Amino acid sequence: MHHRKDIDGLRSVAVLPIMLFHAGVDLLRGGYTGVDIFFVISGFLITSIILGELDDSKFSIMNFYKRRIARIIPAVMFVIITFGFLVGPVLVLPSEISEYFYSAAAASGFASNIYFWSQVDYFARAAESRPLLHTWSLGVEEQFYVFFPFILMIVNKLFPDRRVSIILMLSIVSLVAGVLVHREFPAADFYLLPFRAWELFIGALLALGAAPKIGPRASEAAALAGAGLIVASIFLLVSWLPFPSPFALAPCMGTALLIAYGEGTRVGRALSIAPLRWIGLVSFALYLWHWPIITLYREATGGELDALETIGLVAASFVAATVSYYLVEQPAREAIRRWSARKAVAFGAGASVLMVTTCLILAFTAEKIWHVSPAAERAGRYQHYKSWEVGREQDISSACFIEFASEFLDKSQCLTSAPDKRNVLLFGDSHAEMYGAALRKAHPEINWLQATHFGCPPVRDGWSNPGCLAMVNMVLDEVAVRDRIDGIVLADRWRPDLMPKLEATIALLKSKNIQVTVIGPVPEYQGTFPVILARAIESGKPESVQAFLSPHVQATDRSVRAVAERSGAIYYSVYETLCPTGRACNSVEPDGTPMVFDYGHLTLDGASHAIRGMKKP
- Other CB atoms within 10 A of residue 231 CB: 15
Confidence (pLDDT) at 616: 83
Q: Tell me the pLDDT band of 246, cut-offs 50, 70 and 90.
A: very high
Q: What is the pLDDT of residues 437-457, one digit of tens each?
A: 999 999 999 999 999 998 899
Whether cis (ω within 30° of 0) applies to the bond prior to 244 is yes
Evaluate if residue 393 carries a pLDDT over 80.
Answer: no
Confidence (pLDDT) at 464: 74
Provide mean pLDDT across the span 468-486: 86
Select the highest-mean-pLDDT range: 304-308, 460-464, 503-507.
Answer: 503-507
Confidence (pLDDT) at 26: 86
Evaluate if residue 240 carries a pLDDT over 80.
Answer: no
Confidence (pLDDT) at 22: 93
Please state, in angstroms and rounded to a whole number, the distance separating the CA atoms of residues 291 and 135: 10
**Domain coordinates in residue numbering, the chain:** 5-369, 379-610
Q: Please indicate whether residue 583 or residue 498 has the higher confidence score (pLDDT).
A: 498
Give the CATH H-level superfamily of domain 379-610. SGNH hydrolase (3.40.50.1110)
Which H or E run includes 491? strand 487-491
Calculate the average pLDDT of the chain: 92
Do 572 and 613 touch, CB atoms closer than 8 A? yes
Query: By percentage, how much of the chain surpasses pLDDT 90?
Result: 73
Please state, in angstroms and rounded to a whole number, the distance separating the CA atoms of residues 321 and 326: 9
Please state, in angstroms and rounded to a whole number, the distance separating the CA atoms of residues 298 and 305: 8
Q: Tell me the pLDDT band of 396, cut-offs 50, 70 and 90.
A: low
Evaluate if residue 509 carries a pLDDT over 70.
Answer: yes
Q: What is the 3-state secondary structure (H, E, C) of 190-223?
A: HHCHHHCHHHHHHHHHHHCCCCCCCCHHHHHHHH
Please state, in angstroms and rounded to a whole number, the distance separating the CA atoms of residues 20 and 503: 36
What 3-state class would DSSP assign to 594? strand
Q: What angle do CA 379, 383, 388 make, to 5 degrees?
A: 100
What 3-state class would DSSP assign to 259? helix
Q: What is the pLDDT of residues 536-568, one digit of tens each?
A: 998 888 888 988 898 889 999 999 999 999 999
Q: What is the 3-state secondary structure (H, E, C) of 441-488?
A: HHCCCEEEEEEEECCCCCCCCCCCCHHHHHHHHHHHHHHHHHCCCCEE
Do 233 and 252 touch, CB atoms closer than 8 A? no
Q: Tell me the pLDDT band of 42, cut-offs 50, 70 and 90.
A: very high
Could you tell me the pTM of the whole model? Answer: 0.85
Evaluate if residue 111 carries a pLDDT over 90.
Answer: yes
Sign of CA dihedral 182, 187, 188, 189: positive
Evaluate if residue 397 carries a pLDDT over 60.
Answer: no
Please state, in angstroms and rounded to a whole number, the distance separating the CA atoms of residues 531 and 517: 33
* Contacts (Cβ under 8 Å, ≥6 apart) of 466: 405
Evaluate if residue 492 carries a pLDDT over 60.
Answer: yes
Q: Please indicate whether residue 462 or residue 517 has the higher confidence score (pLDDT).
A: 517
Provide mean pLDDT across the span 51-67: 92
51 closest CA partner among 202, 205, 235, 236: 205
Q: What angle do CA 606, 390, 575 make, to 5 degrees?
A: 15
Confidence (pLDDT) at 303: 65
Pick from 297-306, 424-433, 509-518, 591-600: least confident:
297-306
